[in-house]
Structure 1
């Protein structure tokens, strides 16, 4: 029978156990005999001193044989989280225990190949012989669930902060995913001519082992001025996998040629290329960025070869998009759709830093197939291409490559030089031969390129990239050849291209100067010219701190259309998290002046409202963004008297489903890497990666999508927002995932009510002082104190919990099906002993479940 009150006269002592154990472990006289600790229990304030079980504390560092989920910490800095580690009792010393380091665990340690080959193994090859690894130190700590390993640094491969060697990369778990970006807009012209549009793009995918199968889609519905247009395309089917042993990525299907030497074009086939993202962060390459100035709240669409790479909403003023994948290369098409109906278009040549390679290493890219278009049709001859870069020594790199087919050939050769304090420079030459169907003679031409990069630490300057290319009139890239072959003529024959990205910090002035410049000339059409120059400064006036002053000048000439202007902004803090700013735009169409207020509302919402004059007419605009648990919502609105009003709504998110669980979530890179976090069926637990936290769904699952590939990512529980009825014994997990992987990590979370209870054995006795209590998932929920008192957590009606002590002491308690409303008076819980056979079966099932997990 279960009663809801303690025996009369019994005093509750919720914190008594913690005090007693602290005294026992830290302040009591003890003596060490054969590495064992003997506690003097005479000074303990315990009613029955003969009924005490402190066996788990009696041997320093002792861990009872079994399987435990522990993190490995190598040399007290590099952590390998959540591994199933079996502790064994050696025959030479049955009262001690040692961890079994399996070949899989040893692979994760990052040992050098020559060290790995000399290791010896025990227990039929299951466990490492510690004596075969000279200088290793091993220590287990159950309190932190950590196994500490000290290994000579000379035996380990190269490591960097937040980067793990390939042996520790995780391919994730099988699953399916669907990511999307949807934008709806309605626009009202006050002089007539309303229009509406709905646009979307995204990626669907399946993960099977190391393979990532993906399909990209685009859709649009447009209506206005008596016309209606509808389109849906699955515009790309492809699959890839990482090959860590080669430091490369293998891709099958429809793709674009990503080359550091040749221009990009779309094709169907196979490619194998070195992936710089597999290198430590300080050795990775350059990722492109997009800069510009939006005249109103606008949508920026970045595409290549007809495929949308990214869409994003930006506020009026300068914008800078820096989160593009560093695998993107070649020419990008940028379209800025303003809410006032105007459109800006320009191209960006994604420059790479000089093609240098670490001494002794070879970077390479191989591809073969047939050129294709957005409708999945192949169009053009079979081709094969390859390129390489060889680090000859500390100063020199040699690189080159070629493209070969029946109708087009190109060959390139170049050299790179590390100039040390003067930066890095590379020079290459490319020769091409093209045979067009409508020409009797083939075209031959050459192109020369010079690239330079340097960071001047002493002056705070950084030339991210500066380059010059000159091409003869008959020189053709593969993309130009395919256009001429398809359309019967060649357009846009490049002549000269100047590019530069420069940043200068003026520390004494608290200022910064940024320049992005591109100048393109052609043999057969007008020049394209584009630059953005931004100067900014932070300063204080009296008690007002961190006032920001910035000026941006821009000019763009694209297909004989000029756009130029100046953007000025002054911003100062206002309130706790807000800012007040004045912005002015001066361009060919007139002047715009507006006053704006920006602020955050919590960790998930931010907004901006603006009002002012544009070309003499009053105007107002605003946007609001909510980073929800399941989707990111962005609302944009603009109004100008006598002209137009516009409203747009965008939703960005995704869905991920695996055998471990499923969740709707915010979306990062479409089709990219993500982490499924599990809180053990406990809902509404706040978890976070690099961005704001998200709550687990009703099944205790959440997906964090802001995960970088090949980079050690840490996920944590937001303890400040943890519900009152939940406790977490492990709040941080981490993993290094390969590109496109669906990672999986589980937190140890206990949820439910808390209450004092008294545990009684059938004969009237109590479990010994120090006995442990755990729930059906093996989570600790309490430790028995004096006279059977215990403070239990994670209580649910009808739950069954185990009480364990000694070698084979065990009994079971069952909570009532209906818990009392007031738990402050405690519970009286009978504990039913468990038979020896049932005990062994329960232990065996628990170990098997841990191994399976």
Structure 2
């Protein structure tokens, strides 16, 4: 039932009459304190039979009984949204009809309920006044809200934000496929074509989730290569707040370095805890000198690849293959030069609440993408336990045929001084040359946010390892030094190798420092600093990465200054300083055009960068977005470099629609080199109701089912709308949390009506949950209804039964006028204005098909 429409219909019908009634009400008001107030129907019409029985409204009823979509509040806190049925009591007051299941979902302690109530059917309507005399309810239907006040004694003492597992939705059976294809065509002195395809497939059956991850790549001088990265079968075990994983997975990284395993893992899942009981993928930053290809690897696998325009960039939507493992970033410029650096990826200090625990157990065979490593069987176990006094104890064990390691540590909440942890790992290792080693590794982590200044030390850490300390991965190499990639790959003409392709066990890791700090300055912008350095035994070579940046906005003008320093063993240091300015052209235009450019965002940019090799790059450009939802974006740039007086430019577009994303770009330089980049990404979902195309899926997603409501915009995400059948997929839902899914009624055609436009779902991890909307496809009718040569009484209620749906209801206005929407071309309308036999009738109607072309149909009906 459309609450706002029903109120609007009634008010429009009564408005004319109220103009005559108000002066008379002022006259009789003093008498209200003497006798019960009664509304005289003669005020509306001299013929009292022309007015329906309005006694229910005299007694304070402002809405008719029925089902309403409301937000339920419990003890002054919003809890959930749902459809609630309201009934009228003997005094014509609306009372909510709540079942036993409803009460339990609202947090009522089952043990506090009367035995008689528990004996009733779970879906029986309970009269709160009888079973719970101390419960108060207040329907505020004008605000679409129901307020409930329960005694604290019958409320379960759950953590704030707690959602009972019974409400978690495992979703529907479905096949899922994410695809991301990109390619480029280089033309010039050396022509080449390269292609990359990322495929993530999945099958959901009940609580089980099967996932498969594969990539395919091909170059001009290399055959197509299909690389299978992982296959997993997962399900949650709710009683243990845990997740079971079979197949290819990664061990936990809280205590030890994460390793790839093919086997079994059982670990606790903190996402099942409410927000009040639980809080990382890093942001990758860099500076591109030209339009560049950015590739990110983790543990040897390509997990992200994209093309960036010249200037600084940020990548914050990573989906790493594991919860740890440093990220190797490669920036390949248009002239094929490369910049390679490593971004540390580690967890913040380990802390658990008192009495809470976190564990992980992994057993299986070691997996590696390197041809030069063997695959021993591995066991790893970790346990973290919250103790009193803000102390957390943790430890673990990691074993294989050539490796034994034990770790112990403590985490401490220092209050206003932040949080820290310290641990030590003792390891015994056997290397491929038969040598035996033992050593220790000491790790210190610190995190702190200064509320007064806004300074956030996201993570500061240092790990020191003695000369005899090796990791489990070190013991799997079958040579003391060599390459981690197949030598055939290094012989590939298209392959450009870097220092990460090589290893030498004689240079074991020594010290590793990392820090990430940010500082906001209010209206004066913000500054960030990140640094990392890895040193090795038996050599003075080191990996170093330092990044400093400042961002600010002055009257809409965005300014960024950044400095990057990166140095890897065997390479020269790269130092880049950059300046970038963005001017909001569309804002200035809209201020002079009364906002007419609101759907066209446009920004002009200027960038300057200089490296330590004397190369200076400058570029200017225009970028922006078009269409109502800003889902068509474009970028035009032209740049100059001082070396060889070279120039280059690019033009790119990206369209993000309901069925996926398309992108294309063209770049060129003054030496005749040209490059075309293109890509397409999206997903398809096969379910019991057919096939639905989608934007790229997240881990957890929502399938909208609204048959008949085609091409309706979804109020979440850019470019998402229902397809021609009324189905759509909303990606990236939040597991174990309430997700509001809404359809935009303004985007519906004139013959489509929805019972509700918003609903809530609570998906489990990896689920595809269904959000259903009942759509009525039909005409909007404004009828004049007559009964025995007179107009049907004012205030009479009308209803039309729709096949396989709820009733469509309305209220008769002045002169027998009745507005109903979502009607078929032919049907029956039931009208009632009292309890007597002679106070109800039926009106049959039949409209020609030509009325489907009209926004509103008009007809006079005879009620019998």
Give the TM-score, by structure 1 length: 0.83
Q: Aligned-pair distance for 1:451?
A: 0.4
Q: Aligned-pair distance for 1:427?
A: 0.5
Which is worse superposed, 568-577 or 17-26? Answer: 17-26
Q: Aligned-pair distance for 1:426?
A: 0.8
Q: Distance in 2 between matches of 1:363 and 1:628?
A: 41
1:584 aligns with 2:608: yes
Equivalent in the alignment of 2:497? none
1:514 aligns with 2:545: no
Contact 2:213 2:229 in 1 (8 A): yes
Contact 1:107 1:167 in 2 (8 A): no
Q: Aligned-pair distance for 1:704?
A: 1.4
1:529 aligns with 2:544: yes
Q: Distance in 1 between matches of 2:859 and 2:228?
A: 62
Q: Distance in 1 between matches of 2:545 and 2:86?
A: 65
For structure 1, list consecutive stretches of 5 or more residues without a partner in the other structure: 1-12, 540-544, 833-853
1:82-103 deviations in Å (ceiling 9; x for gaps) = 35x677899xx79888655445
1:432 to 424, 427, 432: 427
Q: Distance in 1 between matches of 2:429 and 2:741?
A: 53
Contact 2:50 2:791 in 1 (8 A): no
SS in 2 for 1:532: strand
Contact 2:373 2:477 in 1 (8 A): no
1:742 aligns with 2:768: yes
Which is worse superposed, 710-719 or 550-559? Answer: 710-719
Q: Distance in 2 between matches of 1:18 and 1:211?
A: 56
- Aligned residue runs from structure 1 range 530-679, under 5 A: 530-539=545-554, 545-562=555-572, 563-576=574-587, 577-587=601-611, 588=613, 590-602=615-627, 603-614=630-641, 615=643, 616-642=645-671, 644-659=673-688, 662-669=691-698, 672-679=699-706
1:482 aligns with 2:476: yes
1:170-205 deviations in Å (ceiling 9; x for gaps) = 33333221111111211112x2x2111221113111
Equivalent in the alignment of 2:757? 731
Contact 1:677 1:703 in 2 (8 A): yes
Q: Aligned-pair distance for 1:228?
A: 3.5
Q: Aligned-pair distance for 1:424?
A: 1.0
> What RMSD, in angstroms, separates the aligned Cα atoms of the two structures?
4.0
Q: Distance in 2 between matches of 1:283 and 1:537?
A: 35
2:365 to 364, 370, 392: 370
Q: Distance in 2 between matches of 1:572 and 1:94?
A: 64
SS in 1 for 2:476: helix
Q: Aligned-pair distance for 1:644?
A: 2.1
Equivalent in the alignment of 1:41? 41
SS in 2 for 1:730: coil
Q: Aligned-pair distance for 1:296?
A: 2.3
Contact 1:48 1:787 in 2 (8 A): no
Higher relative contact order (CA 8 A, sep 6+): 1
1:400 to 388, 391, 395: 395
Equivalent in the alignment of 2:6? none
Equivalent in the alignment of 1:19? 15
Equivalent in the alignment of 1:695? 721
Q: Distance in 1 between matches of 2:553 and 2:680?
A: 34
Change over 3 Å in CA distance of 1:202–1:565 after alignment to 2: same
Contact 2:20 2:43 in 1 (8 A): no
For structure 2, list consecutive stretches of 5 or more residues without a partner in the other structure: 1-8, 483-502, 588-600
Change over 3 Å in CA distance of 1:819–1:801 after alignment to 2: farther
Contact 1:781 1:794 in 2 (8 A): no
Q: Distance in 2 between matches of 1:132 and 1:753?
A: 44
Q: Aligned-pair distance for 1:145?
A: 6.4
Q: Aligned-pair distance for 1:463?
A: 0.7
Aligned length: 800
Q: Distance in 1 between matches of 2:116 and 2:718?
A: 45
Contact 1:710 1:738 in 2 (8 A): yes
1:704 aligns with 2:730: yes
Change over 3 Å in CA distance of 1:113–1:288 after alignment to 2: farther
Change over 3 Å in CA distance of 1:638–1:714 after alignment to 2: same
Q: Aligned-pair distance for 1:455?
A: 0.7
Equivalent in the alignment of 1:310? 304
Change over 3 Å in CA distance of 1:450–1:336 after alignment to 2: same
- Aligned residue runs from structure 1 range 195-214, under 5 A: 195-214=192-211
Q: Distance in 1 between matches of 2:386 and 2:299?
A: 32
Equivalent in the alignment of 1:843? none
Q: Aligned-pair distance for 1:411?
A: 0.9
Contact 1:680 1:748 in 2 (8 A): yes
Q: Distance in 2 between matches of 1:645 and 1:237?
A: 39
- Aligned residue runs from structure 1 range 127-166, under 5 A: 127=124, 130=128, 135-140=134-139, 147-152=146-151, 155-158=155-158, 164=163, 166=165
Contact 2:800 2:827 in 1 (8 A): no
1:295 aligns with 2:289: yes
- Aligned residue runs from structure 1 range 15-414, under 5 A: 16-19=12-15, 39-45=39-45, 49=49, 52=52, 54=54, 57=57, 72-82=72-82, 101-111=98-108, 120-124=117-121, 127=124, 130=128, 135-140=134-139, 147-152=146-151, 155-158=155-158, 164=163, 166-189=165-188, 191=189, 193-223=190-220, 227-281=221-275, 284-324=278-318, 328-373=323-368, 380-414=375-409
1:48-80 deviations in Å (ceiling 9; x for gaps) = 725625587576569999887765433353232
Give the TM-score, by structure 2 length: 0.82
SS in 1 for 2:177: strand
Contact 2:383 2:396 in 1 (8 A): yes
